[in-house]
Amino acid sequence: MLDAGRHPKINLLSYCEVEEVSGEVGAFQVKVRKKARYVNEDLCTGCGACVEKCPTTVKDTYNEGLGERTAIYKYFPQGIPSTHCIDAENCRQLGQGKKCGICAKVCQANAIDFEQQDQMLDLEVGAVVLATGYDVFDPSVIPEYAYDRIDNVVTAMEFERLLSASGPTHGHLDRPSELALRAEVAVLEKDLNKVSRQIDRLEEKHGKKTAEFLKEFEAGKAGEDEDFERWATLAEKQTAAEKVLAPLKKREAAAQTAKNLAFIQCVGSRDFRFNRFCSSYCCMHSVKEAMIAHEHDNQTTSSIFCMDLRAVGRGFEEYKLRGGKSSNIKYVRGRVAEITEDEAHNPIVWYESTTSRQVDHETFDLVILATACVPSAGTPKLADLMGVELDQNGFFKTDPFAPLDTTRPGIFVCGCAQGPMDIPESVAQASSAAARAAEVVATVPKAAAGGGE
């Protein structure tokens, strides 16, 4: 990506949206909206000083909501161009009408521009490649897996972010229940510290400790002062907060990282209720994640529950076997019927083993749902703009004998825009789609000259 960003004949238009497409193969006219970042990307050096000082925090969608980011942020570390963007909706100055501008004050490059507006760009191109990626199936619509009710049931994408050194837990497998506990303790400690500071000021003002004051107040000997009622109320709040906080801090201190993992395959895939197709990469993705988890902590064990494990790529079967031998991975052939929870917030997986033909259950620290690969949310709108058809599964329809060609000449497709596939296959398709687009530009007389869109 860095090489592409530096290439003199490639023009990267990030944070943009296609609004209109007209013309024909070799001479397409594309209208693109370049959204306002409120940061001048030519001036921004990506130093991150603005992020450090921004007072507003919101859920971080890149980390699947498991962490937080500020209102000015970089979507992900490797993004090109390496610049920041202001979330206008959550920004105090842009979205809430409050006086702030801290990011502008600390930006030594003077890159912050609160007056920036969207721009419309008109492009003339010879060919178009659609590489829209995919979305992750929402498992909350499957009630038996209790994704929206049990904290320690996560999606494969959420687990990926937990494993990442740049993720919300810096690669440690902290369970979401412990993350929620930690956040609750932090809020209670903040409130308690606020109350304690107010009490300290009252103790200093009246020259006595709270315990002494309370004895006098309860005995009616404290005298009359407007501070005394507030002091008594604050002392009561402090005592109540300490009682609530003590057991929570004890639980927090005893918390350990997840070591016993369960992976459940085909969540939303190969299911007539949702998606009939196989999502292709999920089996090997679960094996890879289980192996990485074992590399992080050699005490980690994983059970992968599957109808059948589809290791269809070159070397995939050997990779699967190596995971079982060297990474404490157990493959369980069976369909999970339900997930429940015990008092310690440990998920309990109930399943029928198709080898033993017995119904059984097992308790785990964390359950990972291998969710289906589904078309990205904007696919229908983009298909309408481009004038191309979708297949029965909602992906872009292609010619069986020319798998990169959509139903409109000059518009090609690659990766999960065509259907579920893994990274190596997506990379190979991207190269092929680029070659097909270059062929059009080189052979069609009306093809737009110049490069790179």
Where does a domain end: 254, 279, 296?
Answer: 254
Helix (H, G, I), strand (E, B) or coil at 419: coil
Cβ pair 303, 261 in contact under 8 A: yes
Cα–Cα dist 100/254, whole Å: 41
Span 341-367, average pLDDT:
93
Q: Determine, yes or no, domain membership for 452.
A: no
- Residue-wise pLDDT for 375-433, tens only, equals 999 999 999 999 999 999 999 999 989 999 999 999 999 999 999 999 999 999 999 99
248 and 298 share a domain?
no
159 contacts 286 by C-beta, under 8 angstroms? no
Distance, CA of 12 to CA of 30 (rounded, Å): 15
Q: Does some domain include residue 295?
A: yes
User: What average pLDDT is seen over the chain?
Assistant: 91
Q: Are residues 117 and 187 in the same domain?
A: no
| Mean local confidence (pLDDT), 316-332 | 93
Domain identity same for 71 and 213:
no
Q: Helices in 87-163 by DSSP H: which ranges?
A: 102-106, 156-163
Q: What is the Cα 271 distance to its own chain's centre?
A: 25
Q: In terms of domains, do 346 and 389 share one?
A: no
User: Nearest-CA neighbor of 324 among 241, 282, 263, 404?
Assistant: 263
The C-alpha atoms of residue 54 and residue 36 are separated, in whole angstroms, by: 19
Same domain, 309 and 166: yes
Do 307 and 266 meet the contact criterion of CB atoms below 8 Å apart? yes
H/E stretch holding 352 reads: strand 347-353
Closest CA to 213 of 232, 200, 194: 232
Last-in-domain residue among 374, 405, 433: 374
Same domain? 106 vs 194? no
Q: pLDDT for 170-183, tens place per residue?
A: 999 999 999 999 99
Domain residues for the domain of 76 are 2-125
47 located within any domain: yes
Would 449 be classed as within a structural domain?
A: no
pLDDT band at 7 (very low <50, low <70, confident <90, very high): confident
Concatenating the DSSP letter of every residue in 368-434 gives: EEEE-EEE-TTHHHHHHHHT--B-TTSSBP-BTTBTTB-SSTTEEE-GGGTS---HHHHHHHHHHHH
Helix ranges (H only) for 112-225 are 156-163, 176-206, 210-218
Note whether 291 and 364 are same-domain residues.
yes
Question: Does the pLDDT of residue 451 top 70, yes or no?
Answer: no
Average pLDDT over residues 185-189: 93
0.95 exceeded by pTM: no
**All residues at 6 or more sequence positions from 158 whose CB lies less than 8 Å from its CB, including other chains:** 64, 66, 176
Instruction: Tell me which residue has tokens 């920004």.
Output: 91
Task: State CA 167 to chain mean position distance.
Answer: 9
Q: Give the per-residue pLDDT at 341.
A: 95
Per-residue model confidence as pLDDT tens digits over 28-62:
999 999 999 999 989 999 899 999 999 999 999 99
Residue 436 lies in a domain: yes
State how far the Cα of 86 lies from the Cα of 50, in Å rounded to an integer: 10
Question: CATH number, domain at 275?
Answer: 3.50.50.60
Residues 58 and 207 in one domain: no
pLDDT for res 39 = 95
The residues near 399 (Cβ < 8 Å, ≥ 6 apart) are 405
- From the list 385, 160, 393, 358, the residue with the least C-alpha distance to 268 is 393
63 in the same domain as 23: yes
Q: How many domains is the chain partitioned into structurally?
A: 4
| DSSP letter, residue 447 | P
Summarize pLDDT for 79-112 with one digit per residue, the tens. Answer: 888 899 999 999 999 988 888 999 999 999 999 9
Split at pLDDT 50, 70, 90, the class of 446 is: low
Q: Give yes or no for residue 453 having a pLDDT over 50.
A: no
